[in-house]
Structure 1
Amino acid sequence: MGTSASDLHPTPTAIEWDHALIERYNVAGPRYTSYPTAVQFTETWQASDYQAALAASNTQAQPLSLYFHIPFCTTVCFYCGCNKLATKDTSLAAPYVDYLKQEMHLLTQWVDPQRPVEQLHWGGGTPTFLSHPQMQDLMHSTREHFNLRDDDQGDYSIEIDPREVDQTGLALLRHLGFNRVSLGVQDLDPQVQKAVNRIQPYEMTRDVLQSCRDLGFRSLNIDLIYGLPLQTLASFRQTLEQIIELNPDRLSIFNYAHLPERFKPQRRIRAEDLPSAPEKLAILEYSIKRLLEAGYVYIGMDHFARPDDTLAMAQREGWMHRNFQGYTTHANCDLLALGASSISQVGATYAQNHHKREAYESRIAAGEFATLRGLTLSAEDQLRRSLINQLICHFELDGDAFAAEHGIDFAEHFAAELGYLKQHQADGLLIRQGNKLQVTPAGRLLIRSICMVFDAYLDHSALQKAYSRII
């Protein structure tokens, strides 16, 4: 049977839900915010390696992306697996901000501070845990150390908890230069919120979102989670309708992975309260179909965006990228990450800071980088990183163009992988025409499975322990 042009280039938003294929391919696997994944980072890779990478990056003079990890929350959400400290003691933030400022000073000894900062992100934890003076102090110091844009054209974003911010705080964030906001919501059903210890009425989220619009934030993202305790398809339908009414520019619907042996707060969630596997998949299936119906573009995995959002534009035009912050429009930036557990990506290297806040602070206080581990990518690593990024962002790969760019024989170099993909082809997840690969609408939901074929490091016997399920 022949392959038509429409088969090779299906509608960008097209998604086909196939229960049998999802059941077959829904195994645990990486999210590919990096390749190689963090599992491959080694503690033999140290601060001196990071310093060398920073110095070398100056010769390329690429723009910078800055990430600040603020690991504090006033209350603990039982589903959370983030590196954070739940505390009411706001005094802990003051010394931490000072350590971030010291880390910035260390970085500018190695990286040219005149390189423009195209992207800035405060994540956590809850960055709005910081007091207003602390926020001002941190941003002022960032401007002193780095070349932040002053034309409001950079992508400067912050994660906020609607329970922890007011109109004055939002106005301050806008004044400091933030123009993008990500709101944690997770679910609007009161019973679900009580079960995960996150009471956040719809009206609170609505009012914060409207305030952000009134203040001129140009992109608003909302995070939801499916698979939480007491969730049902009926209850999540109501949540989704309310979220669609709020009309965020971007929307993420994450899969809750119940791993109480790894994340202590999850031990407060009763396994018997979790939706069944079929119910959980039904929630996701409905959510995807409803969001597409509402006009959102399926970006990939668990991300959606309005067609006029820059993320959707970047995907259409072929310049979307993926890194530790998820899908991004800044492929050309070196990512400098500050704070406990944060991961930098500079050229062909990854560097991760100490996970424990105390260890991070101790190293910085001693005037040293807080690097715990990292990795320098081999030429083969870089080749596969580029290939996986292309597939996970754009659902297609022109093997001939890729081969010309990287100086390889595509069919020969990836002979084993192309052989493994025959099963994906037979199952209708992928179309291959010569060296051109096109992920089908049925394959887009399972893109991680296709990318895993090109992962040279995967230990399939250990997947269940290291990663969450694909869906």
Structure 2
Amino acid sequence: MVFVSPGVKFDLDMIKKYDTPAPRYTSYPPATQLSEGCTAADYQSAIAASNQRESPLSLYFHIPFCQSSCYFCGCNTVISNNKNIAKPYLEHLVKEIKHTANLINVDRKVLQVHWGGGTPNYLEPQQVQFLWQNITSHFQIDPQAEVSIEINPRYVDQEYIFFLRDIGFNRISFGIQDFNPQVQVAVNRIQPEEMLFNVMSWIKAAEFDSVNVDLIYGLPHQNLQTFRETVKKTVALDPDRIVVFNFAYVPWLKPAQKNIPVEALPEPQEKLEILKMTIEELTNSQYLFIGMDHFAKPNDELAIAQRNRTLQRNFQGYTTHAGTELLGFGATSISMLHDTYVQNHKQLKEYYQAVASNNLPISKGIKLTSDDILRRDVIMCIMSNFYLHKPEIEEKYHINFDEYFAQELDALKPLEADGLVNLASKHIQVTEIGRLLVRNIAVVFDIYHHVQDKQFSRTI
């Protein structure tokens, strides 16, 4: 059974055959390879080397707080109705910003800023202003920078939305998950339809450059018809980007999921039918399939970057600036320099202790080998652009591609026979069938995967 849509084909037989665990490749090596052997001193040395490269920067700020628990959530959050909890966090966050900024060459421009969580709009306007002023006083934000924030639509009003736009945010994202009230009750995320449309109308009135919304399929009480209604209402909202996540039920990792009625979860076959329908509805509504779970309008930056082959992935997902290095701030955030990744302490106590001691709050990391960097380029070309031009890799790394990756190319032959990928003398091209299964193609080049595949979600 093959469903044809612009740029992607839904082949049920292939999806069932290749529905196995694999990393999402927001980085390579995957974050599971980070270890305590990489220290704050290693990170400081990596920053010094980064200054020599003079790469532009992306900045990520993690605000972990939420007022209530969404049972589906897999993020690192702190649930509290006591807004005072944010005050010491911001004080330590600003101290970390100052410490790191002192290590960065002042003339390096910032092309992207992102606030994630948790719920960044947990912060009061004066707290947002305080954090923003400290960011802009310590980093050189490019006038054309992409400045984005995630919000919970239950905790904003029109004034707050316009405040965010006035302060400098030009991109915004919020979670819908599902419009159906029964689903919302089951996952403890009640968001009336009228409220969601009001929030979108405020965002459009404030003239944000881009709006992203998130959906999740596989939640309790969902079925093909109810989720079709959710997709149609989402299209009516007219966002620039839509992300459609597959819900992974892992209560042993995320205890809040124990509150979900497991008997109400859709069967695997129905989840596949929901995914197929979603792809059909979105592509018929002129959204382009960017990759994995992302859709965008043809004029959106993601779509343009993919056409220009400058699309990349980092720990926030797809990003439009392939040449930037990412600095993460706040508890649990991850930084990605050219050859070093590090993650901050996850627990607030350890994070506070490190920052208060004038240390970079690093808990673990990894120093990349030359082979890691080469394989990262290969995997990111496949994941982001569905295409790899072998001569580019050969010229950049001074290798013979077919010789270096002889074993991997041999392993791709069965996938080529199944129609997922085309192996040519000068390039590797992911087919329209293979786009939904791009993780299965990328994982062939991952030398770490064979020892830890059970740690990852399934590819569909």
- Regarding TM over 0.5, the answer is yes
Q: Using the alignment, how far apart are the partners of 1:155 and 1:12 within structure 2?
A: 30
8 Å CA contact 2:390–2:428 kept in 1: the answer is yes
Aligned counterpart in structure 2 of residue 245 of structure 1, from 236, 251, 264: 236
8 Å CA contact 2:47–2:103 kept in 1: the answer is yes
Aligned counterpart in structure 2 of residue 312 of structure 1, from 297, 300, 303: 303
Map Cα deviations across residues 273-314 of structure 1 (whole Å, 9 max, x no partner): 100000111111100011010000100000000000111001
The amino acid that maps onto 1:144 is: S
| Aligned equivalent of 1:441 | 432
| Aligned equivalent of 2:199 | 208
Q: Using the alignment, how far apart are the partners of 2:136 and 2:307 within structure 1?
A: 33
Alignment of 1:25-40 (within 5 A): 25-40=18-33
| Aligned equivalent of 1:469 | 458
Is 1:148 matched with 2:141? yes
Alignment of 1:99-110 (within 5 A): 99-110=92-103
Is 1:17 matched with 2:7? no
Shift of 1:12: 10
Q: Aligned-pair RMSD on alpha carbons?
A: 1.2
SS of 1:352 mapped into structure 2: strand
Q: Using the alignment, how far apart are the partners of 2:322 and 2:349 within structure 1?
A: 32
Q: Using the alignment, how far apart are the partners of 1:18 and 1:156 within structure 2?
A: 37
| Aligned equivalent of 2:88 | 95
8 Å CA contact 1:349–1:375 kept in 2: the answer is yes
Is 1:183 matched with 2:174? yes
Q: Using the alignment, how far apart are the partners of 2:321 and 2:444 within structure 1?
A: 26
Map Cα deviations across residues 435-454 of structure 1 (whole Å, 9 max, x no partner): 42111111000000000000
The amino acid that maps onto 1:469 is: R
Shift of 1:365: 1.1
Map Cα deviations across residues 195-228 of structure 1 (whole Å, 9 max, x no partner): 0000001111111111111111010000000000
The amino acid that maps onto 1:159 is: E
SS of 1:244 mapped into structure 2: helix
| Aligned equivalent of 1:341 | 332
8 Å CA contact 1:411–1:435 kept in 2: the answer is no
Q: Using the alignment, how far apart are the partners of 2:422 and 2:269 within structure 1?
A: 28
| Aligned equivalent of 1:5 | none
| Aligned equivalent of 2:399 | 408
SS of 2:433 mapped into structure 1: helix
- Runs of 5+ unmatched residues, structure 2: none
| Aligned equivalent of 1:47 | 40
Shift of 1:114: 3.0
8 Å CA contact 2:5–2:280 kept in 1: the answer is no
Shift of 1:332: 1.3
8 Å CA contact 1:349–1:374 kept in 2: the answer is yes
Q: Using the alignment, how far apart are the partners of 2:200 and 2:253 within structure 1?
A: 33
Alignment of 1:192-231 (within 5 A): 192-231=183-222
| Aligned equivalent of 2:316 | 325
Is 1:119 matched with 2:124? no
How many matched pairs?
A: 457
Q: Using the alignment, how far apart are the partners of 1:377 and 1:126 within structure 2?
A: 32
The amino acid that maps onto 1:332 is: G
Map Cα deviations across residues 49-70 of structure 1 (whole Å, 9 max, x no partner): 0001111111111111110000
Shift of 1:144: 1.2
| Aligned equivalent of 1:139 | 132
The amino acid that maps onto 1:396 is: Y
| Aligned equivalent of 1:172 | 163
SS of 2:458 mapped into structure 1: coil
| Aligned equivalent of 1:277 | 268
Extract structure 1 runs of 4+ deviating beyond 2 A: none
SS of 1:228 mapped into structure 2: coil
SS of 1:441 mapped into structure 2: coil
TM-score, length-normalised on structure 1? 0.95
Q: Using the alignment, how far apart are the partners of 1:120 and 1:436 within structure 2?
A: 34
The amino acid that maps onto 2:347 is: K
The amino acid that maps onto 1:180 is: R
TM-score, length-normalised on structure 2? 0.98
Q: Using the alignment, how far apart are the partners of 1:202 and 1:185 within structure 2?
A: 9
Aligned counterpart in structure 1 of residue 65 of structure 2, from 72, 75, 82: 72
Larger CA deviation: 57-66 vs 246-255: 57-66
Aligned counterpart in structure 2 of residue 300 of structure 1, from 281, 291, 296: 291
SS of 2:43 mapped into structure 1: helix
SS of 2:243 mapped into structure 1: strand
Is 1:290 matched with 2:290? no
Q: Using the alignment, how far apart are the partners of 1:401 and 1:72 within structure 2?
A: 44
Shift of 1:109: 2.1
| Aligned equivalent of 1:264 | 255
SS of 2:9 mapped into structure 1: coil
8 Å CA contact 2:115–2:149 kept in 1: the answer is yes
SS of 2:371 mapped into structure 1: helix
Map Cα deviations across residues 372-431 of structure 1 (whole Å, 9 max, x no partner): 111111110000000000000111112233212211011110000011001101111111
SS of 1:122 mapped into structure 2: strand
The amino acid that maps onto 1:410 is: F
Shift of 1:346: 1.3
Q: Using the alignment, how far apart are the partners of 1:166 and 1:329 within structure 2?
A: 29
Q: Using the alignment, how far apart are the partners of 1:404 and 1:141 within structure 2?
A: 42
Is 1:385 matched with 2:380? no
Q: Using the alignment, how far apart are the partners of 1:297 and 1:206 within structure 2?
A: 23
The amino acid that maps onto 1:343 is: I
Structure 2 CA distance for partners of 1:182 and 1:168, relative to 1, 3 Å:
same
The amino acid that maps onto 2:419 is: G
Q: Using the alignment, how far apart are the partners of 1:171 and 1:21 within structure 2?
A: 46
SS of 1:103 mapped into structure 2: helix
8 Å CA contact 1:250–1:306 kept in 2: the answer is yes
Shift of 1:113: 3.0
Q: Using the alignment, how far apart are the partners of 2:241 and 2:227 within structure 1?
A: 18
Shift of 1:330: 1.2
Q: Using the alignment, how far apart are the partners of 2:61 and 2:5 within structure 1?
A: 33
Q: Using the alignment, how far apart are the partners of 1:88 and 1:30 within structure 2?
A: 34
